[in-house]
Structure 1
Amino acid sequence: MAREITLMVIIPDQVKDMMSTQKFVVVGSIDINGMCNLSPRTAFSFTEDTIFWLDFFKHKSHYNFVTVPWVSVAVFDKENLKGYQMKGKVGFVKDEKEKIRMIDVISRSTTGKTCSKVFERITHASQPEVIVFKPHAVYSLNPAEDSGVAIVLDTDSETVSLLGVK
């Protein structure tokens, strides 16, 4: 499989299709001691180059995002034994108007309901944080393909040094 090297990673159509079909992603993060944490996410939305998700409970993942912003996001189809992993950085939507807009977009795309209806069902939740994920590399997790080689790769120096790309 050929690798595409770019200045900005566009999420490949097959990855977006799989996220739309499977309706969940798994986020892997690490804390400052290197302890890993996995967290499934079902309340998310995406554009051509960004994934947004809601963080209702400010626990392990949230603190990991604050201290070590590099994460992996995986989506997979267990029926067909296919999947993709994206490695990149997370941040938080800080602008209050944009945050409220994204909460509503994600709530509607996930449940078909407004955010107030979603919040009614989560008893201990305050307004969630909106997490922004920008992939720097995309890998296939398909057993028949070389999953160790990025299919899309950002060429910024930080990505190249951290991912050990030559």
Structure 2
Amino acid sequence: MVTIPKEVQSMMSEQKFIVVGSIDLNGMCNLSPRTTFYFSEDVIYWLDFFKHKSHYNFKNVPWVSVAVFDKEDLKGYQMKGKVSFVTNEKEKSRITDVICRSATGKTSAKIFERMAHAEQPELIMFRPHAVYSLNPAEDSGTAIMIDRDSETVSLLGVK
């Protein structure tokens, strides 16, 4: 398990957005900005309202990259890891409500009642397996933190 470094957590809190990179079965990449998310020390959650390209990519190829950056200071971080869909209804409801309250100040019930025609969003959970710096002055090819499990090591080519 990789803990998200405090400086990455701080940047996510300050910048209030992340960019998620996924890939489809043909190898075509997709980027998707996310502004409604919640994180703990080892997980990032976000709501998937639209269920388009990223949604299908997550289902077929769960390995993704998540980036956060500060364009003013030209600093940033990239995390590589896996996503999954939260299916436990109690946990899904709790975290969805946390995300909605932090983004709008309203409960998820209040928000979703106005979206009666739309499907309820999926809750995506991302667990980082490696963290890299995107800072121009640093070696962004070397992981700051990495999970040394055999799957991560083989996929990321770690020695």
Confirm or deny a common fold (TM above 0.5): yes
Structure 1 gaps of 5+ residues are 1-7
Change (3 A) 1:37 1:123: farther
1:151 alignment partner, SS class = strand
- Per-residue CA shift, 1:60-107, capped at 9, x if unaligned? 000000000000000000000000000000001101111111110111
- Given residue 29 of structure 1, which amino acid in structure 2 is its aligned partner? S
The one-letter code of the counterpart of 2:53 is K
Q: Give me the whole-angstrom Cα distance separating, in 1, the residues matched to 2:63 and 2:41.
A: 19
C-alpha distance in structure 2 between counterparts of 1:119 and 1:125, whole Å? 8
Counterpart residue number, 2:2: 9
Q: Give the 3-state SS of the residue equivalent to 2:33 in structure 1.
A: strand
Task: Choose the corresponding residue for 2:21, options 7, 21, 28.
Answer: 28
Would you say the 8 A contact 1:57–1:125 is kept in 2?
no
- Deviation, structure 1 residue 146: 0.6
Q: How do residues 1-166 of structure 1 correspond to structure 2 at under 5 angstroms?
A: 8-119=1-112, 125-166=118-159
Range with greater deviation from structure 2 (9-18 or 95-104): 95-104
Deviation of the 1:121 alpha carbon = 6.0
Structure 1's consecutive aligned runs of 4 or more residues displaced over 4 angstroms after TM superposition are 120-124
Specify the SS of the correspondent of 1:146: coil
| Further displaced range: 119-128 or 133-142 | 119-128
Share of identical aligned residues, percent? Answer: 77
Instruction: Name which structure has the greater RCO, CA cutoff 8 Å, separation 6+.
Output: 1
* Number of residue pairs matched by the alignment: 159
Equivalent residue for 1:4? none
**Cα distance in structure 1, aligned partners of 2:98 and 2:57:** 25
Structure 2 portions without partners, runs of 5+: none
- Match of 1:142, SS? coil
What is the root-mean-square deviation in Å for CA atoms of aligned residues?
Answer: 1.3
